Amino acid sequence: MADPALVAVLRERIIAQPEMILEDRDLMRALIAANERRLGDNVVDLRGVAMDRLEQRLDRLEDTHRSVIAAAYENLAGTNQIHRAVLRLLEPSEFEDFLADLGGEVAEILRVECLKLVLETHETGDDPALRRLGKVLCIADPGFVDDYMLRGRGGLKPVVLRQCLPDSHALYGEAADWIRSEALMRLDFGPGRLPGMLVMGAENPHQFKPTQGTDLLGFFAGVFERAMRRWLA
C-alpha cells in the first residue's frame, strides 16, 4: 500500500514539472505497460502501439545520426592524413630523398606497412643506378601495371582496393607473406612514357576494401604523378 503522503508529494511534483516524466523513456514505458495491464488482454491501446513505433523510429534515427557523425570524423581524419603525406612528398629536393621519404615518413603518415613505386621499362638487366634507389622502387616489364590491377576485376580503374593476391611476391618480396590488403593507384607520367603504379600494402586485411571510397587516394595519386613528372623531366 502506497504512503498517501508520498503519493501527494509525487503528484504535486509531477503536476508542477510533467516534463520530468515525459523526458524519461524508461518511466514512460513503465507507465504505458501498467496502463495496458489494467486494460486487459482484449483491449488494444493504440496510443501505446503508436508510441512503440515512434520509439523504434527514434532509435533508428539515433543510430543513423551516430553513423553519420562517425563517418564524418573518419573522413576528416583521412583528409588530414592525406594532406600531411602530400606536404611531406613536396619537401625533398633530390630524387633519392623523395623515394626514401616515400618508403619512410610518408608510409608512416598513411599508416601502411609497405609503400612501393612500380615503373615499367623496356630496359633489361640490372642497373646499378636503380639499386641505389632502395627497395621502394620496383622495375617491371611493359604491361605489368595494367595486368596486375586487372586481376580479379572486370575493368581497369585508376584506384583499386582489394585483398592481396596469392602471387604478389613480385611486388612485396618476403613481405607478401603478411601483407593482406592493398591499394593500387595507376600513374600517368605523360605522353610517350610508360605508366607506373603506386602500391600501398597493409597487414590489416580490412584496411583496403572494394567498398571504400577512393577520392582521397585518387587525389594523392594525382599529386604524386605530377611530382614524378617533375623528376622524370
Percent share of the chain, pLDDT over 90: 23
- Number of neighbours of residue 83 by Cβ within 10 angstroms: 15
Residues 188 and 109 in one domain: yes
At 206-232, the pLDDT tens digits run 889 888 888 899 999 999 999 888 888
Residues 87 and 137 in one domain: yes
Query: Which residues partner with 115 through β-bridges?
Result: 200
Residues 136 and 40 in one domain: no
At 30-81, the pLDDT tens digits run 776 766 666 655 555 556 666 677 777 777 777 777 777 766 667 777 788 8
Residues 88 and 40 in one domain: no
- Number of neighbours of residue 174 by Cβ within 10 angstroms: 8
Residues 130 and 52 in one domain: no
Q: 149 is in which domain, residue-wise?
A: 80-232
Residues 33 and 119 in one domain: no
**Structural domain contains residue 73:** no
**Structural domain contains residue 68:** no
Please report, in angstroms and rounded to a whole number, the separation of the first and last CA atoms in the chain. Answer: 92
Contact assessment for residue 135 and residue 122, using Cβ atoms and an 8 Å cutoff: no
Over residues 165-191, the mean pLDDT reads: 86
63 vs 78: CA distance, rounded Å: 22
Residues 89 and 148 in one domain: yes
Side-chain-side CA neighbours of residue 225 (13 Å): 22
Lowest-pLDDT range of 1-10, 54-63, 150-159: 1-10
**Structural domain contains residue 92:** yes
Residues 58 and 111 in one domain: no
163 vs 48: CA distance, rounded Å: 49
Contact assessment for residue 203 and residue 113, using Cβ atoms and an 8 Å cutoff: yes
Counting the structural domains of the chain, the total is 2
25 vs 51: CA distance, rounded Å: 11
- Number of neighbours of residue 65 by Cβ within 10 angstroms: 10
Query: Taking the complete model, does pTM exceed 0.95, yes or no?
Result: no
Distance of CA 56 to CAs 35, 51, 53, 60, Å?
20, 9, 5, 6
